[in-house]
Amino acid sequence: MKIYRVANAAIGCAIFLVAVVLVYVVSIHHSKLTDLSGAIRYLVLPGGLLALLIFSFKLPAARRVNIALALFATGFALYGLEASLHITEWYSRARVQRYIRAHSDTRSRLEIIKDIEAQTGERAWPYPVPLYLGEGIDIEGDTVLPLAGISGATTVFCNESGTMAIYKADEHGFNNPAGLHSEKAIEAVLVGDSFAHGACVPTEHNVAGHLRARNRSAINLGFSGNGPLLALATIKEFAVPLRPKAVIWLYFEGNDLAELELERSSQRLMRYLGDDGHQNLRSRQEEIDRALKDLFEALRRDREREEANPPKKDFDWMTYLNSQRVTSWLLLRKLRSSVSSGFRMARRVLDKDSPEHCIHDLSLFASILRDASQSVASAGGQFYFAYLPTWERYRNRYPPGLCREQVLALVRAEGIPVTDIDSVFRSTGDPLSLFALTWAAGHYTPEGYRLVAESIDRLVN
């Protein structure tokens, strides 16, 4: 008799768990219930399972025991696998943290800024991420979106090698030696995200620095967080007025298209497609500097106030239950993600000629490519495209959703000369050694950036 009660309790717990998951999934993914596939995935399947579990109470007791045993075995296996994936990730993160504590500068960016100021008597500043400034910042009643940092500022950048990269910004807030913007014969201008910006190496070791070491007149207009629309904006605001011989877009396959999904919601950035987006940023640097300094000062005061009076962290059950950690466990996110990646890898292995799965709409990307190429041509230059590989490409033979083949096909269809850095890295025999963090996603080493610069030099010349 007791075993029947245990079976009923087990089925009841399963019903409760499925009901909680169903309510959570419907509340989070309600916008996806309007199409058939979303309704089946998020409503019909879990709802059907819930109905079957409720119906099982009408079955004979012996069958309920079998169902309970099956539920227990299945749940134990699934959540055991999920637990192993969480433990593996925790161990990996712990290893990284141990390495950082042993080999790296563990001071926060604010602590480093304060130390620089104490040692030199000069102000030091963080750098803005234009992608996260929304439509821009207020400058005397006008909303302006800066595309770089504070001009001439000692800028605290990032740390992946054990030492914080710090650079002196040029006259427009970019990571260059001062005075390059006034040169008359610019051979190459680089645009792109943090890989163009030069994360996280000294200025002389980023791509533009290596080009300059090869006696090329090169200016770096890349900035962290930039997606395709911000790259286009930078070309129109800063590259075109320089009338360079070549503009090279350092396209990073890891997140450029994902960043475009965020950028397309900005009316300010969308106006750069065409001739309506120009903000005349080159002539407004003093105003931008003041506004950014005011913004950073306010953020610094908030951080110092928070450090001086840390808020009490009372435990809140609802906050805990709504946290990603709990929902990740309940929904078996890591296990589902691993299985999904496995299926995608299997499809690529079995059908090597098929393009890798692309989850992005590339029509806007194609328009940006065309506009960028035409803008550079209008200034008498040639537009080039450098395809930068992500760390995952060498840890996972067939990473999903990068749209590599589709992106390269679009670039070539526009007649834009392209260099594929993936083949350059693979030719070394150890592409992972060209990443600052060989065990985690990150940026390139100085040697990796040097190889990129060499490839661009061959492409342009």
334 assigned to some structural domain: no
Which structural domain range is residue 440 located in?
Answer: 109-303+342-460
Give the tens place of pLDDT for each residue, 131-172: 888 889 988 889 999 999 999 999 999 988 878 899 999 999
Interhelix angle 2-28/61-103, nearest 10 degrees: 50
Q: Are 180 and 66 part of one and the same domain?
A: no
335 assigned to some structural domain: no
Give the tens place of pLDDT for each residue, 356-407: 567 778 999 999 999 999 999 999 999 999 999 999 888 865 555 678 999 9
Report whether pLDDT(313) > 90: no
Element (H, E) at 95: helix 61-103
Q: Which of 74, 102, 130 is the last residue of a domain?
A: 102
Is residue 205 packed enough to be buried (19+ CB in 10 Å), middle (13-18) or exposed (0-12)? buried
Q: Are 30 and 170 part of one and the same domain?
A: no
240 assigned to some structural domain: yes
How many structural domains compose the chain? 2
Query: What average pLDDT does the chain have?
Result: 85
Q: Are 357 and 241 part of one and the same domain?
A: yes
Q: Rounded to an integer, what distance in angstroms lies between the CA atom of residue 434 and that of residue 271?
A: 37
42 assigned to some structural domain: yes
Q: Are 24 and 150 part of one and the same domain?
A: no
Q: Are 195 and 70 part of one and the same domain?
A: no
Give the whole-number percent of the chain exceeding pLDDT 70.
85
Q: Are 232 and 346 part of one and the same domain?
A: yes
Q: Rounded to an integer, what distance in angstroms lies between the CA atom of residue 44 and that of residue 33?
A: 10
Q: Are 117 and 138 part of one and the same domain?
A: yes
Q: Are 97 and 167 part of one and the same domain?
A: no
Strands annotated E in 68-158: 124-125, 137-139, 142-144, 154-156
Give the tens place of pLDDT for each residue, 100-111: 666 667 778 888
Give the tens place of pLDDT for each residue, 185-230: 899 999 999 999 999 999 999 999 999 999 999 999 999 999 999 9
Distance of CA 288 to the CA centre of its chain: 26
